[in-house]
Amino acid sequence: MKKKILLMLVLALVGSLAVFAGGSKESAGSAAATIGFIGPLTGDNANYGILTSQAARLAVEQFNAKGGIAGTPVTLRLEDSEGNAEKALAAIEKLSGTDKIVALAGPVFTGESFAVGERVQNEGIAMISPSATHKDITAIGNYVFRTVVSDGLQGEVAGNYFYEVLGYRNIAVLYAKNDYSQGLYEGMSASFVARGGKIVIAETLMVGDKDFKTQLTKIRAANPEAIYIPNYTAEMAQILEQANQLGITVPFLSCDGFSDPAIYDLAGNFTHGVIYLGPAKVAQNEVYDKFLADYQAKWGVGPDSFATNMFDGTNIILNALKSVHAATGGFDRAKVRDAIAATKDYIGANGVINFAENGDLVAYQGVYKVNGKTPEYLGTYTVENGKLIKLD
């Protein structure tokens, strides 16, 4: 099943790249706008990049089918970062210098977003990441936006929820040495410890590692009440399986990375009982229903939360391009940035979208518990003045 899904994703990606290569020739010499995408399209965590790139392509195709901008289609250029910051920098070098993009959908991972964010800020190219959650990403500058909840909020809600609602006082952590995972760990632990909780042990891993039994054995000896694993899908799946092999029975807690549906193919029944934080569940709306149906019909798989974020972010970029062109006849990068920042009450697949002054998404956090392989929604939360607030 896993191989079949991966094959479908890869074939879809190849089709995506081929279509857009042809599209660029068709619009050569026209006043077309070009936007870029950067994310991992190959490697252990390619699933994130493939799903999000498919959402970006769907948004652009639908926009062009409605006439594009004054009858001219928008071009999308996909670049594979492999989840690596250096390759992401090479990608933005090409997109900015050769392809002359006017805005960027992505990057996907936090580490590459830090690197690319500095570059686009210096060059004046607006970017909207669907999944770079580290609290400091938008502090890079006013050209950096995101349609995903900041780790600052996720960490605060997680620490408070683990302490107050779940009643844990002693938990262990196994996190990766990267900006995403470490940022979530630091945010959660600060909140948890401030409430009176204790991190009894914190072990680390490197993205791409396959064997976690040494760390898990140390964690088992520390006798925690629960184990927090704020990591990417591939590593989390192996952690859950190896914990089971070691006879570890305490509950596992996780983050928005667990919302990737591939976890259920990779980890099987080991996902049962995991509680994780992810995007808040919004009231079902026609935009989401249509996006879900269109995405599944085109790609043969459902989108994850980051793909949904990418669809909204790409459409916000497209709307900005259209409004700037209508006002000026061109695609000035600074004016595109201003149009994105001016977005107000945009109705997307994730509901009503607004950006804070610093480019953060104005949002809340959802809490989920996995029953078998099915996530059950436990509620929408935020933190106000250090207090956990449940909104539904």
SS3 content of the chain, % helix, strand, coil (to 5): 50, 20, 30
pLDDT of 284: 72
pLDDT of 31: 61
CA–CA gap between residue 54 and residue 260 (Å, rounded): 15
* CATH number belonging to domain 2-149+284-353: 3.40.50.2300
pLDDT of 14: 41
Q: Is the per-residue pLDDT at 222 higher than 70?
A: yes
Domain locations in the chain as residue ranges:
2-149+284-353, 151-279+365-390
CA 68, distance to chain mean position in Å, is: 26
Which residue from 175, 139, 128, 125 is spatially nearest to 155, judged by alpha carbons? 175
Q: Is the per-residue pLDDT at 24 higher than 80?
A: no
Q: Do domains 2-149+284-353 and 151-279+365-390 have the same CATH topology?
A: yes
pLDDT in tens, 350-376: 999 999 999 999 889 999 999 999 999
Q: If DSSP codes are grouped into helix, strand and coil, which group holds residue 273?
A: coil
CB of 277 within 8 A of CB of 369?
Answer: no
**Eight-state DSSP code of residue 109:** S
Pick the CATH number of 151-279+365-390 from 3.90.230.10, 3.40.640.10, 3.40.50.2300, 3.40.50.300: 3.40.50.2300
